[in-house]
Structure 1
């Protein structure tokens, strides 16, 4: 297995453990870690992998992938497939898998999905969304503010809710310039917000050491773009309703919805959207509404020609029906994958995604196992369990103390504290993760447990800062 790591991380420990369970060797290609991690992280990766290559830049390129595959092939190593959970490298994963003959999305399909402006309007043209979008520039910003409707702003190609927020009368072009400057200065995220690279010939080396500039498609987002910002923003009709995500594995054109998460707390701030807590199965949907959502998801995937891969599809449900937020060609972030493992009682979403990539070499039992853990078309889940997880975000400041709270009504099944005393959190337009905690319970007990657990979970991770904020 070839794993792609961004600046030395991208959940490498989880990925390596998933691959090792299948008895496969692990080869890691990583971009250069940030300066504070350059002393220790490469050695940690070397201890995890059978072979490691770290480039001299913070962003992997098509040529990096091609050259590493060539080097492995020259030593007689047969790479079965490539996997990454970093969305900015998803097109490189597709490039590698095309070269290896592994069923996956095409590189151009991945790049097209990253173009959220064109995607929004394509789905609207197909009757699968009631919202439309246009490129944001000073003129369209002023027009939308004069209209006084509900609109949402976000990068045309972005990640992690950075720079995604509801448009208000107080929003200024200076706000966009500030966010764009933050993106350009962010070592980890800068490349994700730049113009999308063009698809690369999966057999020939890339002609240059860095991706070519330009949009993923030949028309649309480049017209009337966000001039001078170094990244493009769009403004779209606000999608009303409660928010959900569908976790989907597609094999040979057949979609399998393995989980539906309801985002029971979403906080929209001035510069980002924080998804605080999720529950699965959803608490506010009927079986019929869930079944309608599954059919709608199948329509979205079919319309876009997405016939293989793992998808985290974010949507909202209102009385008028289902509507799209985003189609992400990857595993959902935070505890989505462990939540799926808790629901299935076995495979996580990462396990199932890897299984789909290896499907050509696996017995037919994989498809049966996938069907067995997936929702039925009528909206019924085979799982007898439910999950609830909360994500914690840090405030700006220097951390004095942080840790798990033992005084909770239900013992967590999974808990991660990602920051430590002494860490300094800077103010930013993207969220800064503090930690995450997941609980598992019998589905029959969920409605009795959740009302107490939901407020109590807010103190599952306790943190104090050296300087009190007002």
Structure 2
């Protein structure tokens, strides 16, 4: 299988590229990377680093990939004698391109049109509302609609219709103005990294505010079967700088019973059936108010931060990246992946809501405030994390933008009993586990429980 490999679509040279390359190589395959042009601060050095890791690295002359770039990369690789088994991308803005490539390669995936539909939060909410799978109404925001919602005095959540990474998502308040929305949209147009994912015309939607605790289902769909191999409860949410940040998660959920999880699994399968989601990997965000589940959004990709590593820490076998890749490769080499269906069934939550193992994880994501970093280090007096990732360094400058700026992330693993006994302590102790100091003043975060 010397010339067999997987094509990675990388945004500006990143998008979990190192993780994907390592996962592909662990399968005995070559990694082929197609990247859009890296940002000036990374430039050719970033592509050189990828060339040292992957067997082939191609790049475009634009910061955003398009169908022509993908077609050209497939042609170049095949002309050089390489066989592409599948295409994968964790950058949501390229998910439809990935589907297009897989269709060209004869690999089962969602149609690109279905992915475009999923990324339209207004359209998805409308279909689920009409079919009774969501109680939340949604409307396109105009200056007139915004003022009407403020006069009504209800609870609403504002977000881009085609959003990514919580960009410009926040609760409506009496102080929310059309000028604020217009400023976020303008900033999106100027944001090289996020502009293509948000679209050229940033439209906002207002949704009835969902009550309850927030969770994420980590889902793999293969041959029409839906497997939930992870379920994370979001322990803390922070509202800061025009967006909502997810600070910490634990899995399995700590605040709900197995019967509640079972109801969530039933609801999720009904949603997937209604939306015809029978292939792929999904990060589904939802809320549970103690009686009913409802959707926040469906992301047709692996969850961000440490979601994939958390799933692997829980089952001891494979993370989301590895499992998604296996679902794609199963079609090219059915004999090698003959046991995948039974493996997914074994690693998934049972119909009665039982978790697949007795282990638990807790992870915290740390976000940077605007300013220049003077120093940064990990400080833990008690239990050491099993995964440590520091993403910034001294001297880095964090811009003031309406999107999350990642500082680092830590993950702890323990038995579920240990987690249940120590979760409150973990929440407090982990909050200061990454010590960061700024040379210039930074904005304080306003934590919302």
Shared topology, TM-score over 0.5?
Answer: yes
Q: Tell me which residue corresponds to 2:377.
A: 403
Q: Tell me which residue corresponds to 1:185.
A: 190
Q: Tell me which residue corresponds to 1:316.
A: 287
Q: Name the TM-score, length of structure 1 as normaliser.
A: 0.91
CA distances 1:143-195 after superposition (whole Å, capped 9, x unpaired): 11111101111001010101000111111011011111111111111111115
Given candidates 204, 207, 210, the residue that maps to 1:233 is: 204
Partner Cα distance (1:118, 1:323) in 2: 16
Displaced runs of 4+ in structure 1, greater than 6 A?
Answer: none
Contact 1:165-1:270 at 8 Å conserved across structures: no
Partner Cα distance (1:190, 1:353) in 2: 26
Q: Secondary structure at the match of 1:285?
A: coil
1:444 aligns with 2:412: no
1:93 aligns with 2:98: yes
User: How far 1:469 sits from its partner (Å)?
Assistant: 4.6
Q: Secondary structure at the match of 1:435?
A: strand
1:246 aligns with 2:217: yes
Given candidates 81, 105, 126, the residue that maps to 1:121 is: 126
User: How far 1:270 sits from its partner (Å)?
Assistant: 5.6
User: How far 1:384 sits from its partner (Å)?
Assistant: 1.6
Q: Tell me which residue corresponds to 1:456.
A: 429
Tell me, which stretches of 5 or more residues in structure 2 are unaligned? 1-5, 444-449
Shift in CA distance, 448/30, structure 1 to aligned 2, threshold 3 Å = same
Q: Tell me which residue corresponds to 2:270.
A: 299
1:20 aligns with 2:25: yes
User: How far 1:444 sits from its partner (Å)?
Assistant: 2.2
Tell me, which stretches of 5 or more residues in structure 1 are unaligned? 196-229
Contact 1:135-1:234 at 8 Å conserved across structures: yes
Contact 2:38-2:44 at 8 Å conserved across structures: no
Q: Name the TM-score, length of structure 2 as normaliser.
A: 0.95
Q: Secondary structure at the match of 2:9?
A: strand
CA distances 1:396-438 after superposition (whole Å, capped 9, x unpaired): 111000011142x211010101000000111111010000000
1:420 aligns with 2:393: yes
Equivalenced residue count is 435
Shift in CA distance, 137/270, structure 1 to aligned 2, threshold 3 Å = farther
Contact 1:166-1:270 at 8 Å conserved across structures: no
Q: Secondary structure at the match of 1:255?
A: strand
Q: Tell me which residue corresponds to 1:166.
A: 171
CA distances 1:295-346 after superposition (whole Å, capped 9, x unpaired): 1110110000000100100000003300000011000000000000000111
Contact 1:116-1:326 at 8 Å conserved across structures: yes
Q: Secondary structure at the match of 1:64?
A: helix
Partner Cα distance (2:17, 2:442) in 1: 35
User: How far 1:450 sits from its partner (Å)?
Assistant: 1.6
Partner Cα distance (2:373, 2:418) in 1: 37
Q: Secondary structure at the match of 1:180?
A: helix
Partner Cα distance (1:319, 1:372) in 2: 28
- The alignment yields a C-alpha RMSD, in angstroms, of 1.1
Write the mapping of 1:43-122 to structure 2, written as runs, cut at 5 A: 43-122=48-127
Write the mapping of 1:339-358 to structure 2, written as runs, cut at 5 A: 339-358=310-329
Q: Secondary structure at the match of 2:129?
A: helix
Partner Cα distance (2:234, 2:361) in 1: 12
Partner Cα distance (1:29, 1:135) in 2: 35
